[in-house]
Amino acid sequence: MPDATQDQDASPVAGARPWEVAWQDSLYGPGGFYRHHAPAEHFVTSAQGLPGAGRILAEAVLALARTYGCRRVVDLGAGRGELLAQLRSLAPDLHLTGVDVVPAPAALEVDRWLVSPGGATLPDALEDLHDTLVLAHEWLDVVPCHVVEREEGTAAGWRSVLVTVDGDEHPGPAPVGPDLGWARRWLSPEVRRAEIGRSRDRAFADLLSRVRSGLVVVVDYGHTAEDRPRHGTLTGFRDGREVAPVPDGGCDLTAHVAFDSLAQEAGACRLTRQGAVLRELVGDPTDPVPHHLASTDPQGYLAAVARRAALTALTTRGGLGDFRWLLAPRRRSPA
């Protein structure tokens, strides 16, 4: 919600609201996009929509779970459970929990499913997690944010962006307090428009506080000070195509994550790219497939070629390989 302390020097426009409020309603309100649409219907992720990719991602998650001694995996923003189904086939011993804004699909085999309010708010029952890997895969990019544009000559240097339900934008009040502090800390003078990542930082901190031991993994498109986009990243997706961001419940609304700000919430953590992680955990896509398999094991050869193609797609820069991975180990407190 917008800060009550924001100044009111901008003229109000009928129906115009801060982007954070309109975004929340558009995705998670009663008629919200995610309450009526499965992600797989509208866009491809590393977990679904690309043949073979979901299994590779599940193998990487399983490898991390084993490395960190995790007996449980929580998939936060689980969609329709595509990744959890892959994990179940690979590791029947893992305790699997899905979290999303809709009930669990009837045929999905998981140990627990929690219905989330949506956005930054997590279910109350997601707490006191021990020996647990929590995967927040494309969760934070759909946690709504305030949107701001630089305005020279004002005391703050920034002005909030308001939006109507049909997507028309209007200048709003200047951000103040923590939002303004975030903008001044994380946005360089070259940035003209941006999403204030404070809501994501708070959501991530809340998630970290619920994990007593194990590993929290955030996977998303994102940026740091070195490559912060100058004009923001807020956009929409519908039916497999990128579209204008309109907060009417008819499309996905997403914006990249400021990972340098996020990392400060985690303390000791590792921030890297998807390509590096997957090469470490599941293999290098440049490794050749032995040609002799084509004659000695044709099915095995085709499977290996398909796996290599999927791994290449997941690790190539300019696409899914651009995903950032933030790995934040959680340690047991001394008795």
Task: With CA atoms as reference, report the closest residue to 259 among 246, 274, 243, 249.
Answer: 274
Residue 101 pLDDT > 70: yes
Q: How confident is the model at residue 310 (pLDDT cuts 50, 70, 90)?
A: confident
The predicted structure's pLDDT at residue 334? 38
* Residue 67 to residue 215: CA distance in whole angstroms: 10
Query: Which overall architecture, per CATH, does domain 25-144+196-287+315-330 show?
Result: 3-Layer(aba) Sandwich (3.40)
Residue 182 pLDDT > 80: yes
| Residues linked to residue 99 through DSSP beta bridges, in sequence order | 76, 114
Q: How confident is the model at residue 240 (pLDDT cuts 50, 70, 90)?
A: confident
Half-sphere exposure of 77 (CA within 13 A, CB side): 26
Element spanning 60, H or E? helix 53-67
Q: Tens digit of pLDDT for each residue in 250-295?
A: 999 999 999 999 999 998 999 999 999 999 999 887 777 777 777 7
| Residues linked to residue 281 through DSSP beta bridges, in sequence order | none
Q: What percent of the chain is predicted at pLDDT more than 70?
A: 91
Residue 3 pLDDT > 60: no
* Contact residues for 306 (Cβ-Cβ < 8 A; gap 6+): 51, 52
Q: What is the pTM of this model?
A: 0.90
The predicted structure's pLDDT at residue 46? 66
Q: How confident is the model at residue 218 (pLDDT cuts 50, 70, 90)?
A: very high
* Residue 35 to residue 30: CA distance in whole angstroms: 7
Name the DSSP letter for residue 100. Answer: E
Element spanning 162, H or E? strand 158-163
Q: Which residue has the higher pLDDT, 237 or 52?
A: 237
The predicted structure's pLDDT at residue 205? 97
* Residue 56 to residue 119: CA distance in whole angstroms: 27
Residue in the structure block whose two tokens are 């044709």: 298
- The residues of the chain that CATH labels 3.40.50.12710 are 25-144+196-287+315-330
